A and B are shown apart, each in its own frame.
Chain A
Amino acid sequence: MKKNIISLKNICVSFDGERILDNINLDIRDKEFVTLLGPSGCGKTTMLRVIGGFLTPDSGAVQFEERDIKAVPPHKRNVNTVFQRYALFPHLNVYDNIAFGLKVKKLPENEINRKVKEMLALVNLSGFEKRSVNRLSGGQQQRVAIARALVNEPKILLLDEPLGALDLKLRKEMQIELKRMQQRLEITFIYVTHDQEEALTMSDTVVVMNNGVIQQIGSPVDIYNEPKNAFVADFIGESNILDGLMVRDRLVTISGKTFVCVDYGFGENTPVDVVIRPEDITIIPPDGEHIAGVVKSVTFKGVHYEMLIEAYDHDWLVHSTKASAVDRTVGLSFGPDDIHIMRKTEG
């Protein structure tokens, strides 16, 4: 078990009477790639600013290697940030941007030179030293921003939606590159994004947030396969979220039919949320035993077809490599493992 590098304890932040972070407790282990995931306005950037020192929480403690750092200003924290829109210094060239932190620390000139050169090589920008940052593409600016932060050898790198402004292909490339850098440099990355796919691809741990509250902390596989509540299920990938009734342990009623499932401990005759992933549903001929519905639409998505099937007033989302004809009645088949039961959340 690796030790905790950052611990947030009971952090609360409000702006103009509005709760942005509501009693946040989070431990981040050393050398981990942690992603804060959630819709915009969920408080994930605020959390990053608390860790970076740009924002003092109203209450609670921020610990760095078990020491409280709530009163430590940003320039004295061993943490560097890659800002949302890069925030490069427009009056400096690529070299001077990257060398900025080292020059502030008054390192010897030849050491600065060596480190900057190394960083430029790491982010594939060798030869760009004298280039004005205003004449770089978005992807190149992104790399400069990463190099400028990493060259200081921080214990923690904070990244605030760093790939948001890049096109899809470049984003995918940078995701892999960032992950590789993180593993090679053995630095803790705390990464903020609203893109669930990005979070699942890169992270060791995903922290799902909504309305200033942590919804679930877990590995990408756990978060995807075992969402704790309907919000997480809905936010991480596409889901069918249905009203169900837990008859007893391992038995649930959905849309008037009763199914065997693997969940237990919800009590008897308890209303629950049931989540079934669209790719876990198989379309079969209607047999009276399974839920049956009418195909309303079929959309080609490349890898699969996306179908909407209406059954018992609910539109089921189904992914399948084979298309059904619109208006045909079909059966929906899924196994006990595919049914995820969660407690109803208030509101």
Chain B
Amino acid sequence: MKKLISAPYLVWMAVFVVVPLIMVAYFAFFANGHFTLDYVANVSQYANIFIRSIWLAAIATVICLIISYPVAVILTEADANYQGTLLMIVMLPMWMNFLLRTYAWMTILGNNGILNQLFGLFGLGPFKLLNTRGAVVLGMVYNYLPFMLLPIYNVMAKIDRSVLEAAQDLGCNRGRVIAKVVFPLSLPGVMSGITMVFVPAISTFIISRMLGGGGNLLIGDLIEMQFLGNSYNPNLGAAISLVLMIIVLLIMTLMNQFDADDRPLI
């Protein structure tokens, strides 16, 4: 019976997860039916793009964390009746189309954009805001912020209030309660937040294309170009995807190692 119920999921996983993975690996290592390491070896040419992607995604992840953590604390401390409303306000931009949101930033950051017009009123600028790395990071932070906030908030909201009172009772002021109890107990949420922001950020191609101009290509753009662009080369695209996947897996494993001394929760 149990097997029967899980069957559709297994089929789904096989068709949409396992098979595509095998196909990616196949294209990366086989060209015209022959085994070759050429494509994987070629990936090293793009080391600078890999480094840039990892670097920008990491910066965006850290900024998301720095913004989200205090917000999560404020949310959990808010009156239970308002928490839902506050959370919805944070989530509201997510209901808008992703492309639309990113386009909006183009008009805000452009040379004749809203920000530069504002600066112009004070006789400043125009500054080059669009087509910079900063704009790419901004786009990542703006789009992926909820993916950091939600898991942290969820874990934090489940922390037993009486544990926090116990910490106060034992001499902790508000800051120390957060440092000594809330933070260690919220680490699982922080970890999944980091994963949920870092992974999409490192492989994005829309944000970098729209806000980064041509000079700030990321791995996602590189992969897209191999499949849809003028440098059509699916084998190389598959090889880059494979390497990216391995890098992400390695980074995540490293992060989990860092978190490994954390004891099971409750």
Chain A residues close to B by CB (< 8 Å):
52, 54, 73-75, 79-81, 83-85, 87-91, 100-101, 104-105, 132, 134, 148-149, 152
Contact B184 A75 (CB under 8 A): no
Contact yes or no, B180 A54, CB < 8 A = no
Instruction: Indicate if the CB atoms of A100 and B170 lie closer than 8 Å.
Output: yes
Asked if A104 meets B166 with Cβ closer than 8 Å, knowing A75-B171, A90-B266, A152-B171, the reply is no
Q: Which residue of B lies closest to A90 (CB)?
A: B266
Closest 4 CB pairs of A and B: A101-B170, A87-B162, A87-B166, A104-B171
Q: Which residues of A contact B167 (CB under 8 A)?
A: 89, 100
CB distance from B166 to the nearest CB of A (A): 4
Check A91–B185 contact: CB distance below 8 A: yes
Residues of B within 8 A of A88 (CB): 163, 166
Main secondary structure of the interface of A (DSSP, over half): mixed
Which residues from chain A contact B171 at a C-beta distance below 8 Å?
A: 75, 101, 104-105, 152
A sample of 14 inter-chain contacts (CB < 8 A) reads: A52-B169, A74-B168, A74-B169, A75-B168, A75-B172, A79-B169, A87-B166, A89-B166, A89-B181, A91-B185, A104-B171, A134-B263, A134-B264, A152-B171
Task: Give min CB distance, A78 to chain B, whole Å.
Answer: 10
Could you tell me the distance between the alpha carbons of A85 and B163 in the complex, rounded to whole angstroms?
A: 10
Q: Once the chains are docked, how many angstroms separate the CA of A87 from the CA of B161? A: 9
Given A75-B170, A87-B162, A100-B170, output 19 extra A-B contacts at Cβ < 8 Å: A54-B165, A73-B173, A74-B165, A75-B168, A75-B169, A75-B171, A81-B166, A81-B169, A85-B160, A85-B162, A87-B163, A87-B165, A87-B166, A89-B167, A91-B265, A101-B171, A104-B172, A134-B266, A152-B170
**In contact, B163 and A89 (Cβ under 8 angstroms):** yes
Cα-based distance from A88 to B176 in the complex (angstroms): 16
In the complex formed, the residue of B with least CB distance to A80 is B169
Q: A75-B171, A100-B170, A101-B171 are in contact. Are A91 and B263 (CB under 8 A)?
A: yes
- Say yes or no: B162 contacts A84, CB within 8 Å: yes
Task: Please tell me if B77 contacts chain A, counting CB pairs below 8 Å.
Answer: no
| Bound CA span A54–B162, Å | 11
B38 touches A (CB below 8 Å): no
Q: Which residues of A contact B185 (CB under 8 A)?
A: 90-91
Q: Which residues of A contact B181 (CB under 8 A)?
A: 89, 91
Q: Is the CB of A91 within 8 A of B169?
A: no
Check A91 against B262 for contact (C-beta < 8 Å): yes
* Chain B positions near chain A (C-beta within 8 angstroms): 160, 162-163, 165-173, 176, 180-181, 184-185, 262-266
* Residue of B168, B171, B263 with most chain A CB atoms under a 10 A cut-off: B171
Instruction: Check if A148 sits within 8 Å of B170, measured CB to CB.
Output: yes
Cβ distance B175 to chain A, nearest Cβ, rounded Å: 11
Contact partner of B180 among A81, A104, A149, CB < 8 A?
A104
- Residues in B neighbouring A85, C-beta threshold 8 A: 160, 162
Cα-based distance from A104 to B167 in the complex (angstroms): 9
Query: Within 8 Å CB of B180, what residues of A?
Result: 100, 104
User: Max chain A CB contacts within 10 Å: which of B160, B166, B181?
Assistant: B166
Q: Across the interface, which residues of B come within 8 angstroms of A74, CB to CB?
A: 165, 168-169
- Among candidates A75, A81, A83, A90, residue contacting B173 with C-beta atoms closer than 8 Å: A75
- Chain A residue nearest to B161 (CB atoms) is A87
Please indicate the chain A residues that have their CB under 8 angstroms from the CB of B265 in the complex: 90-91
Neighbouring A residues of B173 by C-beta, 8 Å: 73, 75
Chain A minimum-CB-distance residue to B173:
A75
Contact A104 B160 (CB under 8 A): no
Considering the chains assembled together, what is the distance between the CA atoms of A85 and B162 in angstroms?
8
Contacts of B264 in A (CB 8 A): 132, 134
Distance (whole angstroms) from the CB of B184 to the closest CB of chain A: 5
Flag if B263 contacts A132 (CB, 8 Å): yes
Question: How near does chain B come to A80, taking the closest CB pair, in angstroms?
Answer: 6
Q: Which residues of chain A come closer than 8 Å to B165, judged between CB atoms?
A: 54, 74, 81, 83, 87
By a CB distance below 8 angstroms, the chain B residues around A152 are: 170-171
CB-defined contacts of A149 to chain B, threshold 8 Å: 169-170
Question: What is the CB-to-nearest-CB distance from A62 to chain B, in angstroms, rounded to a whole number?
Answer: 16
Q: How far is the CA of A101 from the CA of B177 in the complex (A)?
A: 12
List the A residue with the shortest CB-CB distance to B176: A104
Question: Is the Cβ of A83 less than 8 Å from the Cβ of B162?
Answer: yes
Q: How far is the CA of A285 from the CA of B122 in the complex (A)?
A: 107
Residues of B near A101 (CB, < 8 A) are 170-171
Bound Cα distance from A23 to B91, whole angstroms:
45
Determine which residue in B160, B176, B184 has the highest number of CB atoms from chain A within 10 A of its CB, and name it. B160
**Cα A286 to Cα B264 with chains together (Å):** 69
B163 smallest CB distance to A (angstroms): 5
Bound-complex Cα distance A101 to B170 (A): 5
Cα separation A101 to B169 with both chains bound (whole Å) = 8
The 8 Å CB contact of B184, one of A79, A91, A132, is A91
- Give the Cβ gap from B57 to chain A, nearest Cβ, in Å: 29
- B209 CB, nearest partner CB in chain A, Å: 43
Closest CB in chain B relative to A133 CB, distance in Å: 9
Alpha-carbon distance between A13 and B264 when the two chains are bound, in angstroms:
39
User: Which B residues are in CB contact (< 8 Å) with A80?
Assistant: 169-170
